[in-house]
Amino acid sequence: MNNSDNAPANPESCSHDCGSCSSNCGERKTSCNLRVPPHQGSSIKKVIGIASGKGGVGKSTITSLMAVALRQQGLNVAILDADITGPSIPKGFGLTEHAKSEDNAIVPCLSKTGVKVMSINLLLDDQNEPVIWRGPMIAGVVKQFWTNVLWGDVDIMLVDLPPGTGDVPLTVFQTLPIDGVVIVTSPQQLVAMVVAKAVHMAEKLAVPVLGMIENYSYIKCPKCGEIIHPFGKSSTEEAATELNLPILGSLPIDPEIASSFDAGAIESANMEIIIPIVSHIQSLI
């Protein structure tokens, strides 16, 4: 084992398997050496991860809105749903069919407007059946979504990550050539604290963090247009300054967003607010 400034005080904490070891010791060369190529039938230009420290902040909703906005630009867009135990992308797009296979590879499903989607829910017979697998197996499935799916030509792939800093974000950050991570947050104090963990994880694995999107930022009164901040003063700005990250944009609490996602009609949602956020992100990658 090489010694370096980063070597852990206790070398026992290194398992000598960089794929599963979180120790940042001298044995870890760069995060790139764990990368695997996608299926040979795939050509994927850019990959963006959508992450958060906490659950329920709106990652899947924002991933879907971003995909629709990018697709509206005429780009080839894909969503890799890396949330194996809580997959929700197919629901937002109203996809209920079974993904087909071709030459031992899986073919992603196509949304109404042509967004390519792969999710565990498109492979299960019963979408309500829970996936009860241990972490390494779940991470293995996510890896297969990269290596065994015939993505074809993709300009931008969005990876909807499960919350937190567990096996799946670790696998995605190490295996996929991520061009940048977008961190979704909400205004409460507690969220800012857990967001820092997600940011630091990406940084440790040398994955660039593009910035933060604040969801549930405000409510616009439908009668008079007054802006209400239901959570009081947001902690996002403070967290962004502390973490030296830009705020890429913010989304209001909008019942229409929730209802269109629930109805599988996210492609018909109002894109006005997400479009400038997406343009901002595109300028960074």
Ligand X SMILES: Nc1ncnc2c1ncn2[C@@H]1O[C@H](COP(=O)(O)OP(=O)(O)OP(=O)(O)O)[C@@H](O)[C@H]1O
Footprint of ligand X (CB under 6 A): 52, 55-61, 83, 86, 88, 163, 215-216, 251, 253-254, 257-258, 261
Residue with tokens 């194996």: 84
CA distance 193 to 187: 11
DSSP 127-188: TTS-----HHHHHHHHHHHHHSB--EEEEEEEEEPPSSSSHHHHHHHHHS--SEEEEEE-SS
Q: Going residue by residue from 51 to 70, which x/- string records binding to Mg ion, judged by CB under 5 A?
A: --------xx----------
Instruction: Give 108 or 249: the residue with its C-beta nearer to ligand X.
Output: 249
Contacts with Mg ion: how many residues (CB under 5 A)? 3
Q: Which does 235 bind (CB under 5 to 8 A by kind): Mg ion, ligand X, Zn ion, none?
A: none
Q: In which element (H, E) is residue 81 found?
A: strand 77-81
Q: Give how far Cα 197 sits from Cα of 41, 148, 149, Å.
A: 35, 30, 30
Name the residue number minimizing CB distance to Zn ion: 221
Instruction: Give 27 or 81: the residue with its C-beta nearer to ligand X.
Output: 81
Pairing of strands 180-185, 42-51: parallel
Residue with tokens 């197996």: 137
Q: Cβ 191 to ligand X, closest distance in Å?
A: 11
Q: Cβ 93 to ligand X, closest distance in Å?
A: 13
Q: Which does 261 bind (CB under 5 to 8 A by kind): ligand X, Mg ion, Zn ion, none?
A: ligand X
Q: Cβ 83 to ligand X, closest distance in Å?
A: 5
Q: Cβ 62 to ligand X, closest distance in Å?
A: 7
Q: Which residues bind Mg ion (CB under 5 A)?
A: 59-60, 83
